Amino acid sequence: MKRYLDILSDMEGKIAVGQFASGQKLPSVRHAAKHYGCSISTITRAYAELEKRHAIYSIAQSGFYVVEKPGDRSVASPGKRIDFASTSPDPNVFPYLDFQHCLNKALDIYKYDLFTCGDSKGLKTLRHTLVSHLSSDQIFAKAERIIVMSGAQPALELLAKMPFPNGNSAILVEQPSYDIYLRFLEAEGIPVCGIVRTAEGIDLHELEEKFRNGGIKFFYTMSRYHSPLGTSYSVEERKAIARLAQKYDVYVVEDDFLADLGEDSGADPIYAYNGASHVVYVKSFSKIVFPGLRIGAVVLPEKLLETFCEYKRYADTSQLSQAALEVYIKSGMYERHKRKISSQYTARIRSLNEAVRRYNEAGLIEIPDVRSGVFVQFKLPQTVNLERLIKRLAEKEIAVASGKRFYLSDYLEREKFLRISIARAQPEHIEEGVRAIIEEVRREARSLY
């Protein structure tokens, strides 16, 4: 079964990146079986599944061909620009046809019920589906504790504004962290303080001191595939954070928005080690399906549920989108797409790491050991002028994100780095982009002498 899925994923990937171009004839069943070292029946099954997914079509007595979809050329041909800045999913891997089928199916199943305002907690059937869906990631919760939101951001904003049972008001954030949330906290005048997180992790002694004496309402963290670092906490760190939260009655808001894009096995979230007493788990579906879906979910401890629902008050998410997502998950399409997109992104991260090893002989940049997810931190020498470097890269049509924006405005203990995202970076451009970045860093370093 695993061999079949690997072959299917590889074929889909080649179609997605244009290795099998629109209208191209695929290898015969016999030749494909020889290439993959498998039985003819396995290839026949894979081709049948690709045909079912509208990726290929068959012509009697001729063979199988790649479907030419409207707009393929414009999506797959971004020109010379190398995009290491965008975080939204690659349009080439959007599940357009599958999700269109789910929308139609949702209309058939629910009909007029979809055009009501709906329950403020979210579509009941979706919440029950999420019980099983989340349990595969060691998130065990009854449907009553799962609230559907119009994305992860509204959930994070609501949590920042509502009171917590511990009576504290300050929010502790990693530094660096999610820039949009930092700007929201500052704009709203919400008490916020930072704690250093590097590619090596976090100082647990400092964290305990802040939990003990900092008047902390909750600690906002991305335990897995952190933005902008790309790293994940070790199992020991996750267990320690869960233990400290319970010991000092400080809540943890765990933003797991990239959970589905990683391939690390056994990397359970902090929630799995806490028993749901002090961890709020936040999940987004925008990065795995497409941003316009605008659906997220939050899993709340019992003590926070009533207050959260009072602050939420009304339904804010399309009933149709929720119903379509329910169909998408229950049909197995979600898991299939997750496997496809995570393997493609992991391959891009691998290409990035190989390019850094090839061109970074002088060790001008430092990168953490990131093998899956979307982000990688390119740590730079402190003497490099970051703004000038980014400007030079832009002139070469290479887009990157400055590490400056991922800190609180008044935070002083900053590393100098670029946040590199492979979400929109086409595989054939990654090596060229990395080489150009290292060349410009070398040029910048030489200009100092």
Per-residue pLDDT reduced to its tens digit, 328-345: 999 888 988 888 888 889
Give pLDDT, residue 318.
83
Give yes or no for residue 238 having a pLDDT over 60. Answer: yes
Number of structural domains found in the chain: 3
**Whether residues 220 and 302 fall in one domain:** yes
Give yes or no for residue 292 having a pLDDT over 80. Answer: no
**Whether residues 257 and 155 fall in one domain:** yes
pTM: 0.81
**Whether residues 272 and 128 fall in one domain:** yes
Least confident of 2-16, 136-150, 190-204: 2-16
By CB atoms closer than 10 A (0-12, 13-18, 19+), residue 120 is middle
**Whether residues 27 and 87 fall in one domain:** no
pLDDT, mean of residues 229-249:
96
If one compares 104 and 199, the residue with the highest pLDDT of the two is 199
**Whether residues 245 and 119 fall in one domain:** yes
| CATH number of the domain within which 64 lies | 1.10.10.10
Give yes or no for residue 73 having a pLDDT over 50. Answer: no
Give yes or no for residue 258 having a pLDDT over 90. Answer: no
**Whether residues 15 and 131 fall in one domain:** no
Confidence of residue 409 (pLDDT cuts 50, 70, 90): very high
**Whether residues 420 and 354 fall in one domain:** yes
pLDDT, mean of residues 142-162:
95
**Whether residues 256 and 369 fall in one domain:** no
Domain range for 273: 97-331
Give pLDDT, residue 336.
87
Confidence of residue 447 (pLDDT cuts 50, 70, 90): low
Give yes or no for residue 96 having a pLDDT over 90. Answer: no
**Whether residues 185 and 288 fall in one domain:** yes
Give yes or no for residue 223 having a pLDDT over 50. Answer: yes
Peptide bond preceding 176: is omega within 30 degrees of 0, i.e. cis?
Answer: yes
| CATH number of the domain within which 339 lies | 3.90.1150.10
Q: What is the average pLDDT value for the chain, to the nearest integer?
A: 88
